[in-house]
């Protein structure tokens, strides 16, 4: 641990003690202690002087020591449907990755469009978007695409410092950030936002509803990201005929669809069908994901051994469970009500009561908030409850506000630490933080403009307006 990390850790401890002992004694212990723990966790999650997952464990431990709520509430985040949906999503990704489907899709697309740099980039970006529909975790999707990027760079004999190399690597990060927008199950932030609606309002947003609300944002943003990245990292070479031939050969070597691939396609088809028909049967999206895991693991229908299916990243489980548990505790302890009284002045409520000012403010503030609280899960769990309460106080629809905030928080382009795809790509050593800044600023500005434009037009047309 370096000196700056030690300073951050000490500062978090000092602020924890300050909040705990300086809040007036008239504020009841449950709310006061929960806010102190939230401030402590927020600083450690934002600046990460220690692993994010370890911070989650410390937060749970502090809540147990402080006892602002019952133990069952403190651990309730780990029994949440959202947590199990994320676990199942990681397992599904392992199952898919044990077949040749992703390679087949990649080689097939590049054999058709791999002659020019523009064709390679567009087909590669489209492939990332397609994966979002059946591989829930953004980090997993990014990790699966990196070997493909490495192969393209190698086959084209591109320099690892070339614009083309940076275009593909940054494209993998930003493409996966964008792909998480349109599919409810494609990003943890979406799942947590809907879970917050369930906790605070007893309502939800279905798989199809989420798609309908955000599909134009996703489509326009995908085009904007491709355009901006191309302008920022315009390739030095425009054609690679050798790559197209190489991809065609590799595609032909795969042969016909294997039995495992056929099983996987059927299982994914059934899973997506259940997600699409949620409004008919009422089952939570977790049901379909868990069913997919069972079918991928069972004899006859299975495509991968169970001991391989459980080889998931349990750090993400701790992170999500911990942040959700904090969210539940904020509600049960009365801390949210206290924050409302402190933050919701008459001026704030008056400004927020007008949808034409509320929606842009939510979109812009969520982007800024995510720059400070860089962890998506933490940003959603700490900001969305406050916005829900403010929406109710101001008399506007909290569902619209929640969707706007969740999508904004998901879009982290400037700092590496804002999203897992950024972190995964930067960890390869092929790009640096400096490579993210210029395109990130342009794309962040474009995303704000696109979201506000869609909200002011499309959302009003489909009667999704606060």
Between vectors from CA 190 to CA 187 and to CA 194, what angle results, nearest 5°? Answer: 145
Alpha-carbon distances of 208 from 133, 211, 286, rounded to whole Å: 12, 5, 15
Q: Which residues contact 218 (CB under 8 A, 6 or more apart)?
A: 129, 178, 179, 181, 182
- Contact at 8 Å (CB) between 132 and 190? no
Q: Which of 17, 37, 68 represents a domain boundary (last residue)?
A: 68
Distance in angstroms (rounded) separating the CA atoms of residues 43 and 459: 35
- Domain assignment of residue 93, yes or no: yes
Q: Do the domain assignments include residue 327?
A: no
- Residue 161 confidence (pLDDT) above 90: no
- Angstrom distances, CA of residue 198 to CA of 112, 139, 229, 384: 45, 25, 37, 12
Stated as kind and residue range, the H or E segment containing 306 is helix 306-309
Selection from 151, 205, 148 nearest residue 175 by Cα: 148
- Ranges 74-83, 157-166, 318-327, 355-364, most confident: 355-364
182 lies in the same domain as 275: yes
Domain coverage including residue 36: 1-68
Q: Are residues 239 and 134 part of one domain?
A: yes
Number of domains in the chain: 2
Mean pLDDT (the chain) is 87
Give pLDDT tens digits for 203-248.
889 888 999 999 999 999 999 999 999 999 988 777 777 777 888 8
Where among 247, 275, 309 does a domain terminate?
Answer: 309
Specify whether 219 is located in the same domain as 241. yes
Answer yes or no: do 33 and 101 share one domain.
no
Q: Is residue 437 part of a domain?
A: no
For CA atoms 96, 178, 185, 140, give the dihedral sign.
positive
Of 19, 37, 68, at which residue does a domain stop?
68
Question: Does one domain contain both 235 and 152?
Answer: yes
pLDDT given for residue 446 in this prediction: 96
Query: Are 226 and 260 members of one domain?
Result: yes
Q: Is residue 400 part of a domain?
A: no
**Domain membership flag for residue 457:** no
Domain-embedded: residue 253: yes
Q: What pLDDT is stored for residue 83 in this prediction?
A: 84
What DSSP string describes 134-177? Answer: T---HHHHHHHHHHHHHHHHHHTT--TTSHHHHHHHHHHHHHHH
| Pair 22, 126 in one domain | no
Same domain, yes or no: 126 and 53: no
Phi and psi, residue 239, nearest 5°: -130, 145
- Which range is least confidently modeled, 56-60, 67-71, 88-92, 266-270? 88-92
- Give a yes or no: residue 126 inside a domain: yes
Residues 143 and 205 grouped into a single domain: yes
């Amino acid at each position: 641990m370096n000196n700056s990390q030690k300073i951050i850790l000490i500062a978090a401890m000092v602020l924890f003690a300050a909040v705990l002992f300086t809040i007036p004694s008239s504020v009841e212990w449950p709310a006061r202690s929960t806010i102190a723990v939230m401030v402590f966790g927020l600083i450690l999650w934002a600046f990460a002087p220690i692993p994010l997952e370890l911070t989650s464990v410390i937060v749970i431990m502090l809540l147990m020591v402080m006892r602002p709520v019952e133990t069952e509430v403190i651990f309730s985040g780990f029994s949440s449907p959202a947590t199990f949906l994320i676990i199942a999503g990681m397992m599904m990704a392992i199952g898919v990755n044990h077949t040749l489907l992703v390679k087949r899709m990649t080689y097939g697309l590049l054999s058709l469009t791999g002659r020019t740099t523009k064709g390679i980039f567009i087909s590669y970006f489209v492939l990332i978007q397609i994966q979002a529909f059946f591989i829930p975790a953004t980090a997993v999707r990014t990790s699966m695409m990196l070997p493909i990027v490495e192969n393209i760079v190698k086959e084209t004999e591109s320099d690892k410092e070339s614009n083309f190399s940076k275009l593909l690597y940054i494209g993998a990060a930003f493409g996966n950030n964008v792909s998480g927008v349109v599919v409810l199950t494609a990003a943890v932030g979406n799942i947590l936002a809907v879970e917050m609606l369930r906790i605070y309002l007893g309502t939800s947003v279905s798989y199809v509803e989420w798609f309908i609300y955000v599909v134009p944002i996703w489509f326009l943003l995908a085009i904007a990201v491709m355009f901006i990245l191309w302008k920022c990292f315009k390739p030095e070479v425009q054609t690679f005929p050798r790559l197209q031939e190489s991809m065609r050969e590799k595609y032909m070597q795969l042969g016909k669809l294997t039995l495992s691939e056929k099983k996987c396609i059927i299982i994914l088809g059934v899973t997506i069908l259940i997600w699409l028909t949620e409004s008919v049967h009422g089952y939570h999206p977790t049901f379909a994901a868990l069913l997919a895991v069972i079918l991928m693991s069972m004899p006859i229908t299975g495509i991968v051994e169970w001991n391989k299916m459980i080889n998931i990243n349990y750090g993400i489980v701790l992170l999500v469970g911990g942040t959700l548990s904090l969210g539940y505790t904020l509600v049960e302890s009365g801390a949210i009500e206290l924050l409302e009284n402190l933050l919701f002045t008459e001026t704030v409520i008056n400004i927020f009561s007008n949808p034409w000012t509320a929606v842009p403010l939510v979109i812009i503030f969520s982007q800024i908030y995510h720059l400070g609280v860089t962890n998506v899960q933490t940003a959603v769990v700490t900001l969305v409850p406050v916005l829900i309460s403010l929406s109710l106080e101001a008399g506007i629809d909290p569902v619209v506000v929640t969707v706007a905030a969740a999508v904004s928080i998901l879009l982290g382009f400037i700092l590496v630490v804002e999203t897992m795809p950024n972190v995964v790509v930067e960890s390869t050593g092929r790009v640096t933080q400096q490579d993210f800044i210029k395109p990130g600023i342009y794309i962040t500005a474009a995303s704000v403009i696109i979201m506000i434009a869609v909200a002011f037009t499309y959302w009003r047309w489909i009667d999704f307006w606060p």
